Amino acid sequence: MADPQREVPAPPDGTRYRNDIETLTNLEMDNLIWAFHAIQNLDPDDDNSFFKIAGFHGEPFRGAGYSNAQWWGGYCNHGNILFPTWHRAYVLRLEKALQRQVPGVMMAYWDELATLPTGEPRDIPSIFLEPTYAWRSDEYAGRDPIPNPLYSYTFQRGIVDARGSFPDADYTKPIYYQTVRYPYSGLVGPNDNSVTTAHNLLMNRLGPQTTGQLLKDNVKTWLTGPVYRTSNGRVIINVGTRNHYLESLRAPNYTVYSNTSSADRWNEEHGDEAGFAVIYPIESPHNAIHLAVGGIQIPAQDASFVPDANGDMGENETASFDPIFFFHHCFVDRMFWWWQNCHDRQNDLGGIIAGYPGTNSVDAQGPTPGIAGGTWLSLDTALAPFTKRDLGIRSGKKRTAVTSKDVINIHKLGYAYPGRMTLPNDLTSPAARHAHLSVGGINRAAISGSFAVSAWAFSSNVNPPMLIGVMPVLSRWHTVGCANCQNHLEVRGHFPLRGYSQDKVQSTAFEVRVHTRDNPDGVPTQDGPRPRHRLKTGPMVEN
């Protein structure tokens, strides 16, 4: 674009930091906004355009996955050991594109752990809620305001979802489509367009202040989670997404830290051992924020359900076209680096548990383009479509493929995160042992798109039943035809029962519900069968 480039000077030690977006100076924010504005206006065929890079994650599909639901047509990795490293490379690739517009500009993160003095989470940063951006610094003085490139992205080219039962199915997006978040809907294919038009018209009538507050409330509900009183009278409040981020730092090895498939097996295998506490992989709280912004709601005392909400962040097909995606994943990358520092894994992620769920290409989402079904994944697996040249990694060959080993140490990639990255004080002691509810028998293939699973406790002296936990499931729209992953579509999960005495655990009835877009209140059955659940107690302490 026709504008003089402003190079951002490096700090004295040469390290460039990715900072909390709410701490940026006026000039830093202006530079970041300008860079995003610029790449969103590049030709969509340009290798550094937002359209091209956003399209790596899911749609527009390529390879066998373009029109065949037996394959995943996006490059993203979910439910396997490549989840943290692939997305680290992805955010870095976008950052390199931004730096072509403003040399030295850095990505920023949305701090999803940020709290108010009261302990409540801060609202979603206002920069993501403002349709128009007014320049803030003296260096940009005199410029007219522009459409905020972090609020929404306008498609410069249409994409077609050819994977449904007919062309132009659920996730087709026409040219000039603008990405949306909860409480709006982005389903604009012919089968959904009339419902979406009526829904979005209603949301517009509510006004931006009301719709913005609905988004804030949904995100805050996911971050804080349910509040319940246990058998010893203690109020447990740390069962939401924010706590799960911190609990993920306890994960004992990279395999179970990296993804939900591996962590579920670990929790199942070790659940009866002395000293066991449920392990949360980084992918789980990551999924929750996708669902919160994308429109999946969980039951809460002050929840306001909005039926027909389908934001783009809510499914893997289109999530990366919402600009907030990259700020969310920058935060996830910060948490990944934090875990590495806590476990002295800054240069070596350690061995992968051989044969574990999450180590094969058919696990969870299914194979990505160029990866055959049944391929064992490792830290040497190529992180397609990224090359070392794309990411600024020195190599003897221009287009040498990037692997997880290339992106382990972020300082070698040219960036860092501020602050000390040690284990928080309340996590330095071993996790207290507790019973937990093991859940299974939920078939992703029977559910279109993402959903949530909740666990409830029924007791004679408690009315209504208590919500004790929610598990987010970030999925894709067409899983029923995935022949390459049919044996890997069962959703499993584990809900810790903190504060429950041995007697109370045995005398309490539990129920599991599935919350879909069609049934936001949750249903206890899925096409007839009820999700399985069983108690795992082992040696317990009452906490």
What DSSP line would sit under 55-121, residue for residue? TTTSSSP-GGGGT-TTS--S----SSTTHHHHHHHHHHHHHHHHHHHSTT----B--TT-B-TTSPB
CATH T-level fold of 16-175+316-416: di-copper center containing domain from catechol oxidase (1.10.1280)
Provide the pLDDT for residue 1: 35
CA atoms within a 13 Å half-sphere pointing along the CA-CB vector of 473: 32
CA-to-CA distance for 221 and 11, rounded, in angstroms? Answer: 38
pLDDT value of position 501: 75
Q: Report the pLDDT value the prediction gives residue 429, as an integer from 0 to 100.
A: 61
Token representation of residue 474: 């970030």
- Distances 231 to 168, 236, 301, 424, 456 between C-alpha atoms, Å: 53, 11, 20, 28, 14
Q: How many CB atoms sit inside 10 A of residue 258's CB?
A: 29
pLDDT given for residue 97 in this prediction: 99
pLDDT in tens, the chain (543 residues): 334 345 666 655 778 999 999 999 999 999 999 999 999 999 999 999 999 999 999 887 655 544 555 556 789 999 999 999 999 999 999 999 999 999 999 999 999 999 877 788 889 999 999 999 999 999 999 999 999 999 999 999 998 876 555 444 567 899 999 999 999 999 888 788 899 999 999 999 999 999 999 999 999 999 988 776 666 666 666 678 999 999 999 999 999 999 999 999 999 998 888 778 899 999 999 999 999 999 888 776 455 678 889 999 998 889 999 999 999 999 999 999 999 999 999 999 999 999 999 999 888 777 888 888 899 999 999 999 999 999 999 887 767 999 999 999 999 999 999 987 877 766 656 666 678 888 888 877 777 778 899 888 887 666 678 888 899 988 766 555 444 444 446 788 888 887 777 777 788 888 888 888 778 778 876 555 566 666 665 544 444
Joined together, the tokens standing for residue 489 give 């579509």
State the CB neighbour count (10 A cutoff) for residue 386: 22
Residue 165 has what pLDDT?
53
Task: Tell me the residue length of the chain.
Answer: 543
Rg (C-alpha) for the chain, rounded Å, is 23
pLDDT of 313 reads: 96
- Predicted pLDDT of residue 292: 95
Q: What is the pLDDT of residue 66?
A: 47
pLDDT at 492: 83
Could you give the 3-state DSSP secondary structure of residue 178? strand
Q: What SS3 class is residue 479?
A: coil
